[in-house]
Amino acid sequence: MDSFCTIVNFKYLPQAQVLINSFRAVYPDHRFVTLITDIETLDFKPLVGSEVLTVKSLKVDEMKIQNMRLIYDVVEFATAMKPYLLIHLLADSVTATYLDPDVLVFSPLDFATIKAKEFGVVVTPHRLTPSKQLTFGLTELTFLKYGTFNLGFISVGQSGYSMLNWWSQRLEFHSTRFPNGYVFTDQKWIDLLPSFFDHFILKDPGYNFAPWNIDERNLWKFEDVYFIDNSPLVFIHFSQMSDLLANGQWPDHWLSNFENYPLKDDRIDLIHEITDLYRQELLREKARFGEFSYLRIASKDEFFPWPKRQKMIEEMLTGSSIKIRHNSPKFFFIKLQKLLFRSSLLVGAYQGLREDLKRLRARSRRRKRILAVIGGTKSDF
Per-residue pLDDT tens for 259-278?
A: 556 666 677 889 889 999 99
> Is the predicted pLDDT of residue 327 greater than 60, yes or no?
no
Rounded Cα gap, residues 266 and 271, in angstroms: 9
246 and 372 assigned to the same domain: no
Which of 237, 270, 293 is the C-terminal boundary of a domain? 293
Q: Is 147 contained in some domain?
A: yes
238 and 146 assigned to the same domain: yes
Give the pLDDT band of residue 137 (cuts 50, 70, 90).
Answer: low
Which residue type sits at 24? Answer: R
Q: Is 320 contained in some domain?
A: no
The DSSP symbol for 143 reads: H
Cβ burial of 268 (10 Å; 0-12, 13-18, 19+) is middle
Rounded Cα gap, residues 8 and 39, in angstroms: 10
Q: Is 306 contained in some domain?
A: no
Beta bridge partners of 228: 219, 231
Rounded Cα gap, residues 209 and 215, in angstroms: 10
178 and 102 assigned to the same domain: yes
The DSSP symbol for 185 reads: T
Q: Is 303 contained in some domain?
A: no
Rounded Cα gap, residues 74 and 234, in angstroms: 28
Q: Which has the higher per-residue pLDDT, 322 or 95?
A: 95
Rounded Cα gap, residues 299 and 293, in angstroms: 11
Q: How much is the pTM?
A: 0.80
42 and 138 assigned to the same domain: yes
Q: Residues 6 or more apart from 218 whose CB is under 8 A from it?
A: 228, 229, 267
Which residue type sits at 53? Answer: L
The pLDDT mean for the chain works out to 83
17 and 101 assigned to the same domain: yes
368 and 261 assigned to the same domain: no
> Is the predicted pLDDT of residue 185 greater than 80, yes or no?
yes
Q: Which has the higher per-residue pLDDT, 356 or 153?
A: 153
Query: Would you state the pLDDT for residue 302?
Result: 58
* CB 23 within 8 Å of CB 33: no
Angle of CA points 250, 252, 255, to nearest 5° = 105
Q: Is 237 contained in some domain?
A: yes
Q: Domain residues for 347?
A: 325-380
Average the pLDDT over 29-44 and give the result. 88
* CB 130 within 8 Å of CB 265: no
Rounded Cα gap, residues 360 and 358, in angstroms: 5
> Is the predicted pLDDT of residue 342 greater than 60, yes or no?
no
Q: Which residues of 9-28 are buried (b: 16+ CB within 10 A; e: fewer)?
A: bbbbbbbbbbbbbbbbeebe
Which residue type sits at 206? Answer: G
171 and 43 assigned to the same domain: yes
Average the pLDDT over 126-130 and give the result. 93
Beta bridge partners of 7: 35
Domain total in the chain: 2
Q: Is 300 contained in some domain?
A: no
215 and 341 assigned to the same domain: no
> Is the predicted pLDDT of residue 53 greater than 90, yes or no?
yes
199 and 329 assigned to the same domain: no
365 and 264 assigned to the same domain: no
Rounded Cα gap, residues 33 and 54, in angstroms: 11
351 and 259 assigned to the same domain: no
Percent of the chain with pLDDT over 70: 77
